[in-house]
Amino acid sequence: MSEDGKRQTIVPASAALAARTGSSGSLLAAAPTVRELLAFVIAHETYALPLRSIREILKVPPITGVPRAGHDVLGIISVRGRITTVRDLRRLLRMPEAPVDKHTRVLLVDAGQEVVGLLVDRVLQVYRLEEDEVELAAVVGGDVSEHVMGVGRPRRVRRGSDEVEVRGEEDDDILVLLDPGPLLRRT
């Protein structure tokens, strides 16, 4: 209680600053937003999914076919006793098929109510992209499918444990950022 008998509330400095500057205040806007994405290759194109949606990366296990399944459904696998549907991302994106090789992987992706396996040609790395390295689909324009969130253009590449190399615009990779929700709802 204060000297005049009124109750005092102690508020952390960060909350007080946020209340004073508002949600669109310049001080809060300075905090960068970083997106963590797992990059992979399909048909010589680089795609990425949000890292938070990836549960696990597996070498391709034996896949049991399912009669009368959708065109993109390869079958089912058992992952630690749980049955998981495996879908071919090439077929899902209407790309030509390719044989499974030593680089092919199954990404276990959280699809909300279940975990689904996605067959990809090769897994590359995790990218941490800042706001200015991502162009959302609304900005990209054109007739972009709902499963495409946008395009990522990473500028920084880690070499070793702490060295960072900044690359020029002409060397930038382009990542097609996929939204797992709409992507896995496609039939």
Lowest mean pLDDT, pick from 50-59, 83-92, 176-185:
176-185
Mean pLDDT over the full length of the chain: 77
Of residues 157 and 176, more confidence is placed in 176
pLDDT tops 80 at residue 23:
no
Strand-pair partners of 35: 129
Res 146: pLDDT: 78
CA angle 30, 36, 37 (to 5 degrees): 140
DSSP letter (8 states) at residue 64: B
Q: What are the chain's domains?
A: 34-185 (2.40.50.180)
pTM > 0.85: no
Higher pLDDT, 80 or 145: 80
CA 175 to chain centre: 10
User: What is the spatial distance between Cα 187 and Cα 73, in angstroms, rounded to a whole number?
Assistant: 10
pLDDT: is 10 or 121 the higher one?
Answer: 121
What pLDDT does 136 receive?
A: 76
Identify the pLDDT of residue 160: 55
Spacing of C-alpha 141 from chain mean position = 20
